[in-house]
Structure 1
Amino acid sequence: MSPFPDRRVQLFRMEAARRQTQRQLDIIQRQITRRMTALIPTLQPRRTGYRGGKPPDPRAFLERYRSNLTALTAERQPEIDALSRKLMRQDRAISALRERFGLPSEGAHPAPRHIGPT
Protein backbone atom coordinates (compact mmCIF):
# COMPACT_ATOMS: atom_id res chain seq x y z
CA MET A 1 0.00 0.00 0.00
CA SER A 2 1.32 3.41 -0.95
CA PRO A 3 1.75 6.14 1.67
CA PHE A 4 0.20 8.62 -0.80
CA PRO A 5 -3.43 7.90 0.25
CA ASP A 6 -2.43 8.26 3.92
CA ARG A 7 -1.02 11.69 3.19
CA ARG A 8 -4.22 12.64 1.37
CA VAL A 9 -6.25 11.53 4.40
CA GLN A 10 -3.99 13.55 6.69
CA LEU A 11 -4.34 16.59 4.42
CA PHE A 12 -8.11 16.16 4.31
CA ARG A 13 -8.27 16.07 8.12
CA MET A 14 -6.05 19.12 8.44
CA GLU A 15 -8.21 21.05 5.97
CA ALA A 16 -11.37 19.99 7.82
CA ALA A 17 -9.88 21.24 11.09
CA ARG A 18 -8.99 24.54 9.39
CA ARG A 19 -12.55 24.94 8.09
CA GLN A 20 -13.87 24.33 11.61
CA THR A 21 -11.57 27.00 13.03
CA GLN A 22 -12.71 29.45 10.34
CA ARG A 23 -16.34 28.61 11.17
CA GLN A 24 -15.68 29.42 14.83
CA LEU A 25 -14.28 32.83 13.85
CA ASP A 26 -17.29 33.43 11.61
CA ILE A 27 -19.65 32.54 14.46
CA ILE A 28 -17.96 35.09 16.72
CA GLN A 29 -18.32 37.74 14.02
CA ARG A 30 -22.03 36.95 13.61
CA GLN A 31 -22.54 37.07 17.39
CA ILE A 32 -20.92 40.49 17.61
CA THR A 33 -22.99 41.71 14.65
CA ARG A 34 -26.20 40.37 16.20
CA ARG A 35 -25.48 42.06 19.53
CA MET A 36 -24.70 45.35 17.82
CA THR A 37 -27.91 45.12 15.80
CA ALA A 38 -29.86 44.64 19.03
CA LEU A 39 -28.12 47.67 20.58
CA ILE A 40 -28.83 50.10 17.73
CA PRO A 41 -32.24 51.25 19.05
CA THR A 42 -30.67 52.14 22.39
CA LEU A 43 -27.98 54.20 20.64
CA GLN A 44 -30.47 56.44 18.84
CA PRO A 45 -30.72 59.97 20.24
CA ARG A 46 -33.82 60.99 22.16
CA ARG A 47 -36.36 62.73 19.95
CA THR A 48 -37.07 65.46 22.49
CA GLY A 49 -34.02 67.53 21.47
CA TYR A 50 -35.26 68.05 17.93
CA ARG A 51 -38.40 69.85 19.05
CA GLY A 52 -36.23 72.66 20.34
CA GLY A 53 -35.12 73.42 16.78
CA LYS A 54 -31.78 71.67 16.99
CA PRO A 55 -31.45 68.51 14.87
CA PRO A 56 -29.75 65.45 16.39
CA ASP A 57 -26.02 65.14 15.73
CA PRO A 58 -25.33 62.06 13.52
CA ARG A 59 -21.71 61.99 14.67
CA ALA A 60 -22.84 61.33 18.24
CA PHE A 61 -24.64 58.17 17.08
CA LEU A 62 -21.54 56.97 15.22
CA GLU A 63 -19.36 57.61 18.27
CA ARG A 64 -21.73 55.62 20.51
CA TYR A 65 -21.89 52.85 17.89
CA ARG A 66 -18.11 52.63 17.57
CA SER A 67 -17.51 52.66 21.31
CA ASN A 68 -20.04 49.86 21.84
CA LEU A 69 -18.54 47.85 18.98
CA THR A 70 -15.09 48.30 20.48
CA ALA A 71 -16.35 47.13 23.88
CA LEU A 72 -18.09 44.06 22.44
CA THR A 73 -15.06 43.14 20.36
CA ALA A 74 -12.72 43.65 23.32
CA GLU A 75 -14.75 41.11 25.30
CA ARG A 76 -14.10 38.46 22.66
CA GLN A 77 -10.61 39.60 21.58
CA PRO A 78 -8.64 36.92 23.46
CA GLU A 79 -10.76 34.22 21.79
CA ILE A 80 -10.47 35.92 18.39
CA ASP A 81 -6.69 36.22 18.74
CA ALA A 82 -6.31 32.58 19.78
CA LEU A 83 -8.41 31.34 16.86
CA SER A 84 -6.56 33.61 14.42
CA ARG A 85 -3.20 32.25 15.60
CA LYS A 86 -4.54 28.71 15.33
CA LEU A 87 -5.74 29.41 11.80
CA MET A 88 -2.31 30.72 10.78
CA ARG A 89 -0.62 27.63 12.26
CA GLN A 90 -3.03 25.39 10.40
CA ASP A 91 -2.37 27.25 7.13
CA ARG A 92 1.38 26.86 7.60
CA ALA A 93 1.05 23.16 8.44
CA ILE A 94 -1.14 22.50 5.40
CA SER A 95 1.27 24.37 3.13
CA ALA A 96 4.25 22.51 4.58
CA LEU A 97 2.56 19.15 4.08
CA ARG A 98 1.65 19.99 0.49
CA GLU A 99 5.18 21.21 -0.22
CA ARG A 100 6.93 18.32 1.52
CA PHE A 101 4.99 15.63 -0.28
CA GLY A 102 4.29 17.46 -3.52
CA LEU A 103 0.54 17.41 -3.06
CA PRO A 104 -1.39 19.72 -5.36
CA SER A 105 -2.98 22.89 -4.04
CA GLU A 106 -6.73 22.78 -4.18
CA GLY A 107 -7.36 26.50 -3.92
CA ALA A 108 -5.57 28.97 -1.76
CA HIS A 109 -7.02 29.71 1.64
CA PRO A 110 -7.86 33.37 2.30
CA ALA A 111 -5.91 35.14 5.01
CA PRO A 112 -7.58 35.16 8.42
CA ARG A 113 -9.97 38.05 8.74
CA HIS A 114 -9.43 40.55 11.48
CA ILE A 115 -12.55 40.98 13.52
CA GLY A 116 -12.90 44.24 15.30
CA PRO A 117 -13.18 47.94 14.87
CA THR A 118 -11.41 49.53 11.94
Structure 2
Amino acid sequence: MTGPPDRRLALARMEAAHAETQRHVRVVERQIAARAERMTITERAKRRQHGRSASSWTNADERVFQQRLAELALARRGEIDALTRKLDRQETAIAEFRRRNRVSASAAGE
Protein backbone atom coordinates (compact mmCIF):
# COMPACT_ATOMS: atom_id res chain seq x y z
CA MET A 1 0.00 0.00 0.00
CA THR A 2 1.46 3.35 -0.97
CA GLY A 3 -0.74 5.44 1.32
CA PRO A 4 0.09 6.90 4.67
CA PRO A 5 0.72 4.51 7.56
CA ASP A 6 -2.61 5.40 9.15
CA ARG A 7 -4.43 3.96 6.12
CA ARG A 8 -2.48 0.72 6.40
CA LEU A 9 -3.24 0.62 10.10
CA ALA A 10 -6.93 1.26 9.47
CA LEU A 11 -7.09 -1.54 6.91
CA ALA A 12 -5.21 -3.88 9.23
CA ARG A 13 -7.69 -3.10 12.03
CA MET A 14 -10.63 -3.71 9.71
CA GLU A 15 -9.19 -7.04 8.58
CA ALA A 16 -8.43 -8.06 12.17
CA ALA A 17 -12.00 -7.28 13.22
CA HIS A 18 -13.29 -9.32 10.26
CA ALA A 19 -11.08 -12.26 11.23
CA GLU A 20 -12.29 -12.03 14.83
CA THR A 21 -15.92 -12.11 13.70
CA GLN A 22 -15.17 -15.16 11.54
CA ARG A 23 -13.59 -16.88 14.57
CA HIS A 24 -16.68 -16.04 16.63
CA VAL A 25 -18.94 -17.65 14.01
CA ARG A 26 -16.78 -20.80 14.05
CA VAL A 27 -16.89 -20.90 17.87
CA VAL A 28 -20.69 -20.71 17.84
CA GLU A 29 -20.87 -23.48 15.22
CA ARG A 30 -18.51 -25.70 17.25
CA GLN A 31 -20.55 -25.06 20.40
CA ILE A 32 -23.74 -26.08 18.65
CA ALA A 33 -22.18 -29.25 17.23
CA ALA A 34 -20.62 -30.23 20.57
CA ARG A 35 -23.88 -29.73 22.44
CA ALA A 36 -25.84 -31.71 19.83
CA GLU A 37 -23.32 -34.54 20.16
CA ARG A 38 -23.52 -34.52 23.96
CA MET A 39 -27.32 -34.55 23.83
CA THR A 40 -27.29 -37.45 21.37
CA ILE A 41 -24.84 -39.48 23.43
CA THR A 42 -26.86 -38.87 26.59
CA GLU A 43 -30.08 -39.91 24.88
CA ARG A 44 -28.38 -42.96 23.40
CA ALA A 45 -27.07 -44.05 26.79
CA LYS A 46 -30.53 -43.76 28.32
CA ARG A 47 -32.07 -45.83 25.51
CA ARG A 48 -29.62 -48.70 25.79
CA GLN A 49 -29.00 -50.89 28.78
CA HIS A 50 -25.27 -51.13 28.15
CA GLY A 51 -24.64 -47.57 27.07
CA ARG A 52 -20.95 -47.51 27.95
CA SER A 53 -20.10 -50.73 26.20
CA ALA A 54 -21.86 -49.73 22.98
CA SER A 55 -19.40 -47.62 21.06
CA SER A 56 -20.88 -47.74 17.57
CA TRP A 57 -22.64 -44.70 16.17
CA THR A 58 -25.71 -45.96 14.35
CA ASN A 59 -27.74 -44.37 11.58
CA ALA A 60 -30.47 -43.68 14.12
CA ASP A 61 -27.91 -41.88 16.30
CA GLU A 62 -26.84 -39.81 13.31
CA ARG A 63 -30.45 -38.85 12.60
CA VAL A 64 -30.93 -37.80 16.24
CA PHE A 65 -27.68 -35.85 16.10
CA GLN A 66 -28.73 -34.02 12.91
CA GLN A 67 -32.12 -33.26 14.44
CA ARG A 68 -30.52 -31.83 17.59
CA LEU A 69 -28.06 -29.87 15.47
CA ALA A 70 -30.91 -28.29 13.52
CA GLU A 71 -32.86 -27.50 16.71
CA LEU A 72 -29.86 -25.85 18.37
CA ALA A 73 -28.98 -23.88 15.23
CA LEU A 74 -32.58 -22.66 15.08
CA ALA A 75 -32.44 -21.66 18.74
CA ARG A 76 -29.28 -19.59 18.09
CA ARG A 77 -30.45 -18.35 14.70
CA GLY A 78 -30.57 -14.73 15.82
CA GLU A 79 -26.96 -14.73 16.97
CA ILE A 80 -25.75 -16.54 13.85
CA ASP A 81 -27.71 -14.21 11.56
CA ALA A 82 -26.35 -11.13 13.34
CA LEU A 83 -22.78 -12.38 12.99
CA THR A 84 -23.32 -13.23 9.32
CA ARG A 85 -24.70 -9.75 8.63
CA LYS A 86 -21.74 -8.26 10.49
CA LEU A 87 -19.34 -10.28 8.33
CA ASP A 88 -21.08 -9.04 5.19
CA ARG A 89 -20.85 -5.42 6.35
CA GLN A 90 -17.18 -5.84 7.22
CA GLU A 91 -16.39 -7.42 3.85
CA THR A 92 -18.19 -4.58 2.08
CA ALA A 93 -16.36 -1.96 4.14
CA ILE A 94 -12.97 -3.56 3.46
CA ALA A 95 -13.68 -3.79 -0.28
CA GLU A 96 -14.87 -0.17 -0.36
CA PHE A 97 -11.80 0.98 1.59
CA ARG A 98 -9.51 -0.85 -0.84
CA ARG A 99 -11.37 0.57 -3.85
CA ARG A 100 -11.37 4.10 -2.46
CA ASN A 101 -7.66 3.94 -1.62
CA ARG A 102 -6.76 1.94 -4.75
CA VAL A 103 -5.38 -1.03 -2.85
CA SER A 104 -5.56 -4.54 -4.20
CA ALA A 105 -6.04 -7.49 -1.88
CA SER A 106 -2.56 -8.80 -2.78
CA ALA A 107 -0.92 -5.45 -1.97
CA ALA A 108 -2.60 -5.33 1.43
CA GLY A 109 -0.50 -8.22 2.68
CA GLU A 110 2.76 -6.30 2.24
Band of TM-score, shorter chain: 0.7 to 0.9
Corresponding residue for residue 77 of structure 1: 77
- The residue number in structure 1 matching 2:44 is 44
Q: Distance in 2 between matches of 1:81 and 1:29?
A: 12
Cα RMSD (Å) of the superposition? Answer: 2.3
Shift of 1:35: 0.8
Report the identity percentage: 39
Q: Is the 8 A contact 1:18 1:91 kept in 2?
A: yes
Q: How many residues align?
A: 97
* 2:40–2:68 contact (8 Å) kept in structure 1: no
Question: Per-residue deviation at 1:4?
Answer: 2.3
| 2:22 corresponding residue in structure 1 | 22
Does structure 2 conserve the Cα–Cα contact (< 8 Å) formed by 1:25 and 1:80?
yes
Distance 1:35 1:3 in 2: 47
> Does the 8 Å contact 1:43/1:61 carry over to 2?
no
Counterpart of 1:103 in 2: which secondary structure?
Answer: coil
**Cα distance in 1 for residues equivalent to 2:70 and 2:98:** 38
**Runs (4+) off by over 6 Å:** none
AA matched with 1:34: A
- Work out whether residues 43 and 65 of structure 1, in 8 Å CA contact, stay in contact via their aligned partners in 2: no
For normalisation by structure 1, the TM-score amounts to: 0.70
Q: Which residue of 2 aligns with 1:4?
A: 4
Q: Which has the higher contact order (CA 8 A, sep 6+)?
A: 2
Question: What runs of 5+ residues in structure 2 fail to find an aligned partner?
Answer: 50-57
